[in-house]
Amino acid sequence: MKRTFTPQVLLLPAILILLLGMGYPLVWQVVTSLQKFGIQQQFGKPASFVGVDNYVTLFADAELWGVVARSLLFCVVTATVTLVIGMLLALLMTVVTKTARLILQVALLLAWAMPVVAAMTVWIWLFDRRRGVVNYLLDLVPGVDMNRFNWLETPTTFFIVAGIIVLWMSVPFVAFSAYAGLTQVSDEVLEAAQIDGATPWQRLREIILPMIRPVIMIVFLLQLIWDLRVFTQITMLQDAGSKSGAFDLLGTYIYKLGTRAQDFGMASAVSILVLAITIALSWFYVRSLLREEEA
């Protein structure tokens, strides 16, 4: 058959835009991470080349590895809980009435569509130590004293609040994605399994989950990446609480290095480290995808 290059030609503009929009910043980050780039370079002074000195300094920094461990723990926990809750809501949408499903979907859409800054303003007010609704409601429970309890005072409670907020903003995406996958599961297959005596748990484990496995994997991967790079929620909580380094994740750590310490070389080096962690987290999915393609 005569080979045509029309598809490649049509894809070329989009590929060039992606290379320009994503490739240039990446190259700039790599080059900057090999330089001593501070506030003077912002005003035109040439940056001096330092090679891998920035990376050597970072790898010897115990504070950085504390932030990395904290960020990895935060993203794994929040992504896992988000996936579980989102799957449960998706399953709920398949069994409730049409009216109940519509109400649930509208509620999820409203939560998902709310701007981050507006949502954070509401959440900070909810957890306010003096006028917060959360403390007020918990204080009504017999034996629980939450009067003027400061949720943002210690790292543990700080990240509990941050996790709740991230969950609230992320669950709708997982729920809608999983529900879209569930609608593609054949009713005939499920009915046949039920007739054969399969319990609801067996149908879920042996039929539904394997059939929507690609959706679950890509959603979980995206959640890991997004939660690893979470920034706005942590920054606004720090503005309302403590700006100590013990409350930092990778996003805020890079921000402080760049904009406050004016050390853009070190900030770029940490950004490259985050990229490497992201690729490492993504490799499991990519490898599984390649195996499925070969099969």
Could you state, in order of their start, the residue ranges of all structural domains in the chain? Answer: 33-294
Higher per-residue pLDDT: 127 or 285: 127
Compute how many other C-beta atoms are within 10 angstroms of the C-beta atom of residue 55: 17
For residue 295, the model assigns a pLDDT of 66
pLDDT (tens digit, 9 = 90+) per residue, 238-256? 998 888 888 899 999 999 8
Question: CATH topology for 33-294?
Answer: MetI-like fold (1.10.3720)
- Residue 157 is predicted with a pLDDT of 92
Summarize the confidence of residues 152-161 as an average pLDDT: 92
Of the pLDDT bands very low, low, confident and very high (cuts 50, 70, 90), residue 145 is confident
Token look-up 């709310």 returns: 114
**Least confident interval from 142-146, 233-237, 274-278:** 142-146
pLDDT given at position 170 = 92
Look at residues 259, 199, 201, 215 and name the one whose alpha carbon lies nearest to residue 235: 259
CB atoms within 10 A of CB 192: 12
The rounded distance, in Å, linking the Cα atoms of 99 and 89 is 15
3-state helix, strand, coil in the chain (%, to 5): 75, 0, 20
Among 11-15, 86-90, 115-119, 187-191, the range scoring the smallest mean pLDDT is: 187-191
Whole-number average pLDDT of the chain: 87
What are the pLDDT digits (tens) for 63-118? 889 999 999 999 999 999 999 999 999 999 988 889 999 999 999 999 888 899 99
